[in-house]
């Protein structure tokens, strides 16, 4: 392989010196399988032609923090990565820029350039986190605030609620998540809404699907083990979900809860659960019986 680009002997020697680290040349030669004499000449810039890629591979494999790509570039086997000034490219009308295959408009380009030039100009929006919602006052009244939450500026929202329980686990809304909501008194059938019910001076809030049926409207969980809530005169809509923010990574227990919720919804399992309950069989006993039967079946094959 003939080098297409120039061999930068000084740069290669500097990288090689870092690759060797606190080892002697003889130690590095023993580790890499490259002649100590040859390594010494490379360090002193006495080699006119660059090392070939197989030799560079050996040097890189036993180096301290220097990569094969860096040595290949210094040897002149590959070109140095090209560099462009992104702000200049964004402001240059002659340069065509695409995002997901679509041209970026000039207004978008200038907006991106301003953000790159002044990152502090990107401001997050603060919305209130609602706690107990008092009756007789607007939902966004400061008396209902429990704190504030920063959200990206492109999300249009008015408030957040901290989700509790697993009633919406089927759509990925987990216990402890922040439900980002837009204030609304009406919703389309199928929206996830904030349902409010007056209860002892405060409004009980719940996050559920809203379905507007012919005979009656209901609030429905994304968990078949949670019954529907009829939208009678005690309930009203206070908002619509527009996004979810999560504080922590989901645990495996969440996945198990999802599987349980999913399996309960399958009709063929309902009589199994009912029979076990009627006979007083506990869940752990069912699990032990399943494991035993599975081992018996395996042994019979």
Task: Give per-residue pLDDT as tens, 46-105.
Answer: 999 999 999 999 999 999 989 999 999 899 888 766 667 777 777 777 777 877 777 888
Domain co-membership, 151 together with 215 = yes
In a domain, 261, yes or no: no
Instruction: Say what the alpha-carbon torsion angle 36, 37, 43, 45 is, to the nearest 10 degrees.
Output: -160
CB of 13 closer than 8 Å to CB of 66: no
9 belongs to the catalytic site? no
User: Is the Cα torsion angle 114, 116, 119, 125 positive or negative in sign?
Assistant: positive
The pLDDT of residue 42 is above 50? yes
161 & 234 share domain? yes
* Structure confidence by residue, pLDDT tens digits, 172-230: 888 889 999 999 999 999 999 999 887 767 778 889 999 987 778 899 998 888 889 99
- Statement to judge: residues 34 and 70 lie in one domain: yes
Catalytic residue among 167, 214, 249, 268: 167
Verify whether residue 277 is a known catalytic residue.
no
Q: How far is CA 72 from CA 16, 46, 54, 62, 171, in A?
A: 11, 18, 10, 15, 49
Collapsed DSSP state (helix, strand, coil) of residue 110: helix
Query: Measuring CA to CA, which residue among 235, 238, 242 is closest to residue 217?
Result: 235
Looking at the fold, whether 210 and 147 belong to one and the same domain comes out as yes
CA 89 vs. chain centroid, Å, equals 30
Q: How far apart are CA 222 and CA 257, in angstroms?
A: 12
Taking only the tens place, the pLDDT of each residue in 132-145 is: 766 666 777 777 88
Answer yes or no: is 4 within a domain: no
> How many independent structural domains does the chain possess?
4
Q: Domain of 70: which CATH number? A: 1.10.260.40
Is residue 116 located within the same domain as residue 132?
no
Residue 168 inside a domain? The answer is yes
User: 143 with 96, same domain?
Assistant: no
Angle (deg, nearest 10), helices 9-20 and 25-32 = 90
Domain housing 275: 268-300
Confidence of residue 38 (pLDDT cuts 50, 70, 90): very high
Q: Which of 32, 63, 208, 257 is catalytic?
A: 208
- pLDDT digits over 238-296, tens only? 999 999 988 777 777 767 766 666 665 556 666 777 777 778 888 788 888 888 887 77
């Amino acid at each position: 392989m003939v080098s297409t680009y120039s061999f930068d002997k000084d740069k290669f020697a500097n990288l090689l010196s870092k690759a060797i680290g606190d080892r002697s040349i003889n130690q590095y030669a023993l580790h890499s399988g490259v002649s100590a004499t040859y390594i010494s000449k490379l360090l002193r810039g006495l080699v006119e032609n660059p090392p070939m890629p197989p030799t560079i591979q050996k040097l890189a494999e036993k180096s301290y923090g220097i990569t094969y790509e860096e040595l290949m570039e210094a040897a002149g086997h590959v070109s140095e990565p090209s560099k462009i000034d992104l702000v200049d490219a964004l402001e240059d009308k002659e340069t065509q820029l695409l995002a997901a295959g679509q041209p970026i408009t000039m207004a978008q380009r200038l907006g991106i350039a301003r953000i790159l030039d002044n990152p502090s100009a990107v401001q997050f929006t603060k919305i209130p986190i609602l706690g107990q919602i008092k009756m007789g006052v607007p939902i966004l009244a400061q008396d209902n605030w429990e704190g504030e939450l920063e959200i990206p500026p492109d999300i249009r929202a008015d408030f957040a609620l901290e989700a509790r329980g697993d009633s919406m686990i089927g759509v990925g809304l987990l216990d402890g998540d922040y439900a980002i909501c837009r204030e609304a008194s009406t919703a389309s059938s199928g929206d996830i809404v904030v349902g409010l019910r007056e209860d002892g001076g405060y409004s009980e809030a719940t996050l559920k699907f809203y379905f507007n049926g012919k005979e009656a409207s209901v609030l429905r969980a994304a968990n078949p083990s949670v019954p529907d809530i009829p939208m009678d005169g005690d309930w009203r809509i206070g908002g619509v979900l527009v996004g979810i923010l999560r504080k922590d990574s989901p645990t495996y227990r969440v996945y198990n809860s999802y599987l349980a919720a999913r399996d309960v919804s399958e009709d063929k399992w309902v009589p199994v659960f009912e029979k076990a309950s009627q006979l007083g069989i506990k869940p752990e006993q069912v699990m032990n019986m399943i494991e035993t039967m599975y081992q018996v079946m395996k042994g019979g094959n």
